[in-house]
Structure 1
Amino acid sequence: MNPGAYDYPGKVDEDCNGVPDDEPKGCDEGLAVEANDAMDAVRAMGLCRIADPNAPLSTRTWGVLSAKYVFPDGSTTSDTPKLFGTDCVGDGQKGTPPNSLSRGIVTKFGNVTEPTGGQSMFVLSTGVARSGVQGMSPAGAHMCTASRTPTGFPTPSEAACPGQDIDTDNSAYDAIALELEIRTPTNAKGFSFDFNFHTYEYPNFICSQYNDFFVALLWPVHATNVLHNNICFDAQGNPVSVNNGFLEVCPAGTHGGKVFECPLGTGELLGTGFEGRGATSWLRTTAPIEPGETIKLRFAIWDMGDDGFDSTVLLDNVTWELEGLPPFTDRPPK
């Protein structure tokens, strides 16, 4: 193969360095909870190879080229937040970078949820990105940051909430994003990652203007079923929010005109701070790439309509795939 290939398990030396199956591992152990270094966020998700952007072709490997915390629209300093002053949690204010408490690294979330790969997982939140109740989070911490939403957002929720024009505000409150540049392996045609979305908006704010979003934006996109570069969506094309079809960890009921059967029960909510609220459990998103290209990937979460009830997403287990399937999100195999 060549130095830019991923060394898949199987006793074949794909990257031609003389040692088969020697991809770096274990980089997500012992990471600081604060995740002040964005490269630690990368490691928490299982990406252990950091690549040199200026390496000559003869020694060029796949790997992460850069990582930084931004806002959902890609900006690096906050607009005027919904609320500011003494009620702010953490270090968010107009003109600041994303609030440092809106990100974190954990080895367990609540009493039940553990990483799907390795020892750690990365957390983004519109509240405090930690497990359990943290002051007013997740019931409604004011992180005092804001930006615009990504281009094309908010998208209409017509599929999830027929006949309701609820997505009209392009302000992203209590917002944060992690943006990566990655050189893909020369023998990979796709990638996947796992995520688990929790929201305090369930059950009180279904199909309302208070519609927190999580998106995973990819550039370039090699598919036709992707809207505004977002590769995370349910079978109806809804982005991940309280209204999407994957909210299955919750107390069952009919809310906002929608029936929530909640087949996964409520056990995974214990100890998270989201008891009595809703979550998706672990989901896996897969998307195609071109071998050896440079991609930009932005994971973003924000409050819409207000800066009240919080939402949190766990991210883990970024993996390179040999097949380039169209983007889809589903439950990972057990």
Structure 2
Amino acid sequence: MRSPHSALIVAAACLLESGCLVTVFVKETGSDDAETAGAAGSSDANDQMTQEPGPSDTSTSTGEVATTEPMTKTDVGFDSGPDGWEFCSTVLVPCDADNEDIDHALGLNCEGGLKTNGPLTWSGPDGSRRVLSEQLGTTEVFAPTEGSRRVVLSTGDASHVLLTLPEMPTLGNCPVTQTCPSTDWPGNDLDHLPPPIETMPLQCETDKQPPGPGDCSETIESQWGLGGEPLMAYDYTELRFSAVAPTYTAGFAFDFAFLTSEHPKRWPFGHNDMFVAWVASERYTGNIALDPDGNPIAAETLPYEIKYDAMPFDCDEEDCVDLPLREFAFERHAGTAWYEGEIGINPGESIEVVFALFDVGDAIVDSAVLLDGVRWLCAPPPASV
């Protein structure tokens, strides 16, 4: 246990982290064994993995050669507590305003931010991912948390996220008699999740190496099983990257918001579409995509705070709970606010991160996840202190 003085340092360092987000406290577990697999060729759904330029790559996501200037070195301040713990102060300079590179939209490979070790890679249907600068709906609830763009992954066509209900039948190819948006991507269904993801529940201890491969969050296998046998990840899509934590780093975090058309019409009948954020590190191996109460991000288990209510007795037009969903694809459905997924890591270690989204139960009716603000943490997350 840290001394009171050290705890004050942790609290002060936490104040350096910006953004009005809901913090997700991950399960107090241990770590992954250090021998996690590389990212290339992870999905059976695609024979080739597409790559997003890393910090040493001079090409862009459109294949054009980019002229780059040397990155300005960011000043980093250190302060050591009585137990030798260090924290930092860095300022991320958003770099997504002038291009639609996926890594830049996430906050990766920008000055002062997290640099990937090699390129960001993806697998799944080409239409399942998109960089968004557009406003979603009539409110700012789903505005980017960092910079001017964010990324959306969808189990359907990611461009359909921008459609309104009147546009859905023609532009979204989804008749009004169906639950929309809904797109099936034949050939992108998996009977196992790609390495390093291991769905077997694993009981792990805080700050100790896990006893074996598995999911320290103990959330994936049981939720996936709600879709029935055999286990199938329909319309699987993912983003992944590796990174080496700087010497001052104490944690890793990112922002996400989940949206689904499965609720309310197809709830709760085994259509448990899932978002998994897998982190493989020395101290942890497992899913860190959880809501503030520790619920996994799955369509049937979330207590949605933003959802359609057919009979909102106490709802004034300006404060209806479903207001943030209006006038884009998930109107009359359900979603979450921006949440923060985070985990403590060891300075100097290598980590691998996989953001995976897939349909459960069947391949129709879409769910989506917004991603932004991928970053290092200068102070350990509460569950890691």
**Quick check: TM above 0.5?**
yes
Greater share of strand: 1
Contact 1:156 1:167 in 2 (8 A): no
Shift of 1:324: 1.9
Q: Does 1:192 align with 2:262?
A: no
Shift of 1:205: 2.3
Letter in 1 for 2:222: P
Q: Does 1:147 align with 2:190?
A: yes
Contact 2:309 2:322 in 1 (8 A): no
Q: Which of residues 141, 144, 148 in structure 2 aligns to 1:119?
A: 148
* Sequence identity (%): 28
TM-score (norm 1): 0.67
Contact 1:190 1:288 in 2 (8 A): yes
Paired residues in the alignment total 257
Letter in 1 for 2:97: E
Q: Which of residues 256, 266, 269 in structure 2 aligns to 1:208?
A: 269
SS at match of 2:324: helix
- Whole-Å separation in 2 of the counterparts to 1:26 and 1:200: 32
Q: Does 1:26 align with 2:94?
A: yes
Contact 1:155 1:167 in 2 (8 A): no
Counterpart position of 2:212: none
SS at match of 1:42: helix
Q: Which of residues 233, 257, 277 in structure 2 aligns to 1:172?
A: 233
Q: Does 1:239 align with 2:296?
A: yes
Shift of 1:270: 1.6
Contact 1:156 1:166 in 2 (8 A): no
- Whole-Å separation in 2 of the counterparts to 1:167 and 1:239: 18
Q: Which runs of 5+ in 1 are unaligned?
A: 1-7, 33-39, 52-60, 71-97, 159-163, 255-262, 329-334
Shift of 1:50: 8.7
Which stretch shows the higher mean deviation, 149-158 or 121-130?
149-158
Q: Which of residues 313, 324, 349 in structure 2 aligns to 1:293?
A: 349
TM-score (norm 2): 0.59
Shift of 1:43: 0.9
Which stretch shows the higher mean deviation, 127-136 or 194-203?
127-136
Shift of 1:152: 1.4
Compared CA separation, residues 285 and 207, structure 1 to 2 (3 A): same
Compared CA separation, residues 300 and 221, structure 1 to 2 (3 A): farther
Letter in 1 for 2:173: M
Q: Deviations over 1:105-126 (max 9, x none)?
A: 0013233221011100011000
Greater share of helix: 2
Q: Which of residues 157, 179, 182 in structure 1 aligns to 2:243?
A: 182
SS at match of 2:240: strand
Shift of 1:147: 2.0
Compared CA separation, residues 300 and 191, structure 1 to 2 (3 A): same
- Whole-Å separation in 1 of the counterparts to 2:359 and 2:226: 17
Q: Which of residues 253, 272, 279 in structure 2 aligns to 1:218?
A: 279
Compared CA separation, residues 165 and 143, structure 1 to 2 (3 A): closer
- Whole-Å separation in 1 of the counterparts to 2:125 and 2:356: 13
Counterpart position of 2:162: 132
Contact 1:231 1:327 in 2 (8 A): no
Letter in 2 for 1:143: W
Contact 2:108 2:114 in 1 (8 A): no
Q: Does 1:104 align with 2:130?
A: yes
- Whole-Å separation in 1 of the counterparts to 2:383 and 2:103: 21
Q: Deviations over 1:270-310 (max 9, x none)?
A: 22211100001211111111112111000010011211110
Shift of 1:326: 5.5
Compared CA separation, residues 132 and 281, structure 1 to 2 (3 A): same
Q: Does 1:14 align with 2:70?
A: no
Letter in 2 for 1:30: D
Contact 1:221 1:229 in 2 (8 A): no
Larger radius of gyration: 2
SS at match of 1:148: coil
Shift of 1:48: 2.9
- Whole-Å separation in 1 of the counterparts to 2:228 and 2:111: 38
Compared CA separation, residues 274 and 165, structure 1 to 2 (3 A): closer
- Whole-Å separation in 2 of the counterparts to 1:220 and 1:244: 27
More contact order relative to length (CA 8 Å, sep ≥ 6): 2
Shift of 1:69: 0.5
Q: Does 1:250 align with 2:316?
A: no
- Whole-Å separation in 2 of the counterparts to 1:122 and 1:114: 11
SS at match of 2:162: coil
SS at match of 2:221: coil
